[in-house]
């Protein structure tokens, strides 16, 4: 079972957007034991950063349990702030907060793809982020005349990190007079 511990976000980790945590996971992992009596299994932790208590249960002639505390982090933490709807004629800020949580300087590429809205900033932005540094990228979004819905997609790449974030926006036909 993998259970997030209360107050378990590392101090170097930026506060993430609220995440709906799933109930503790229960996995049945079958492994073969080598002649030395050792078994090795692999467990993939949830994607969100945190501290997890992992408990393994083995059933043989007796029940054996072992627990360990594991910390999972992302080298880059991110949070997108965007409205849920826009009116025709309005402009809104779409804000991406990035934080380098690693001890290395990171080269980051952020690609924006917009459907139903026009953006003020370039499609792709490249930046260098020093350790423990925050940056904020801002796009001004304007609804297209014919749109009743919009989607804003960001692709964040840095080393092995390849994350996608998207937001759907409703476009209201209300135009102020």
β-bridge partners, 54 = 2, 68
CA-based nearest residue to 130, from 101, 155, 170:
101
Q: Across 45-54, 67-76, 165-174, which has the greatest mean pLDDT?
A: 165-174
CA-based nearest residue to 147, from 91, 94, 88:
88
Give kind and range of the element (H or E) at residue 140.
strand 134-143
∠ CA 28-34-36 to the nearest 5 degrees?
125
Q: What 8-state DSSP symbol labels residue 28?
A: -
pTM for the whole structure = 0.64
pLDDT tens-place string over residues 90-127? 999 999 999 998 899 999 999 999 999 999 988 899 99
pLDDT tens-place string over residues 53-80? 877 777 778 888 888 888 777 888 899 9
């Amino acid at each position: 079972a993998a259970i997030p511990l209360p107050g378990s976000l590392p101090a170097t980790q930026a506060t993430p957007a609220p995440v709906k945590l799933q109930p503790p996971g229960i996995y049945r992992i079958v492994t073969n034991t080598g002649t030395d009596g050792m078994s090795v299994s692999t467990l993939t932790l949830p994607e969100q950063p945190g501290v997890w208590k992992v408990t393994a249960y083995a059933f043989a002639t007796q029940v054996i349990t072992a627990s360990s505390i594991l910390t999972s982090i992302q080298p880059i933490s991110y949070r997108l702030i965007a409205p849920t709807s826009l009116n025709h004629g309005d402009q809104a800020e779409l804000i991406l907060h990035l934080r380098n949580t690693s001890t290395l300087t990171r080269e980051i590429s952020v690609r924006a793809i917009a459907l139903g809205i026009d953006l003020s900033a370039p499609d792709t932005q490249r930046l260098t982020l020093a350790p423990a540094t925050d940056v904020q990228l801002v796009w001004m979004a304007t609804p297209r005349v014919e749109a009743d819905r919009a989607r804003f997609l960001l692709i964040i790449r840095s080393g092995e990190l390849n994350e996608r974030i998207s937001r759907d926006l409703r476009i209201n036909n209300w135009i102020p007079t």
